[in-house]
Amino acid sequence: MKLLVPVKRVVDYNVKVRVKADNTGVETANVKMSMNPFDEIAVEEAVRLKEKGVASEIVAVSAGPSAAQEQIRTALAMGADRGILVEHDGVLEPLAVAKILKALVAKEAPDLVVMGKQAIDDDMNATGQMLAALLGWAQGTFASRVEVANGEATVTREVDGGLETVTLKLPAVVTADLRLNEPRYASLPNIMKARKKPIEVVKPADLGVDPAPRLTVLRVEEPPKRQAGAKVASVQELVEKLRNEAKVI
């Protein structure tokens, strides 16, 4: 069984995000970048499936600038076998990424695509669902547990009311939630080995995909600063302020 695991290059979750001075986007110059945390969970799950003998090969893929090879190398150090970078310096919207992944699925013929449920930079939570729709595959989103056997994937997924378990016929798309696992730290020997693992670099045009954005960002602004709190002398005054000033009751 072959697994395809998409990974995205994002601003590290420990970094305080700042808006550019001209309000055209988020500042990324001289900012620490890392693999999207949900994608890291997906890589870990793929490696665990390989360790169980369920999977035989893991292909880590990414779409973005040349620097995204760094995140692919991280996935290789965690246990992926090889990588593919679809190099593109411009904006990539979820639909464009889904089309790129569809082309890679046609090329690689994986049995299962395991990916993060969303990226922490745009919080779109759309690529996995779009990919499943384009492929016509079953999908298990927000997965907190995945078991694969006999050509099927049993996915326990987190929903508003608790947990839901679904059985998917392979091939399928699974998106990883936070509680699926705890990613491992890549050891130094594995980091050194990852340097020798192959990464294929292609362009969207090589896959027959036009990544041109369909949306135009007009302006990016920071959220308004929170107003300072105020003390009240009595419950009656609190109720009055909630009713007349905050207008929430």
The answer to whether residue 74 scores a pLDDT higher than 90 is yes
Nearest of 147, 148, 144 to residue 176 by alpha carbon? 144
Q: For 2-244, which CATH superfamily applies?
A: HUPs (3.40.50.620)
pLDDT at residue 29, rounded to an integer: 86
pLDDT tens-place string over residues 137-162: 999 999 999 999 999 999 999 888 88
The answer to whether residue 227 scores a pLDDT higher than 90 is no
Return the percentage of the chain with pLDDT > 90, whole number.
84
The pTM of the whole model exceeds 0.85: yes
Q: Can you tell me the mean pLDDT for 13-40?
A: 92
Q: What residue type is 27 in one-letter code?
A: E
CA dist 169 and 112 (Å) reads 10
C-beta of residue 186 within 8 angstroms of C-beta of residue 71 = no
Locate the domains of the chain by residue range.
2-244
pLDDT tens-place string over residues 42-70: 999 999 999 999 999 999 999 999 999 99
SS3 per-residue string spanning 118-168: CCCCCCCCCHHHHHHHHHCCEEEEEEEEEEEECCEEEEEEEECCEEEEEEE
Residue 116 CB neighbours (<10 A) = 28
C-beta of residue 9 within 8 angstroms of C-beta of residue 33 = yes
pLDDT at residue 228, rounded to an integer: 84
pLDDT at residue 243, rounded to an integer: 92
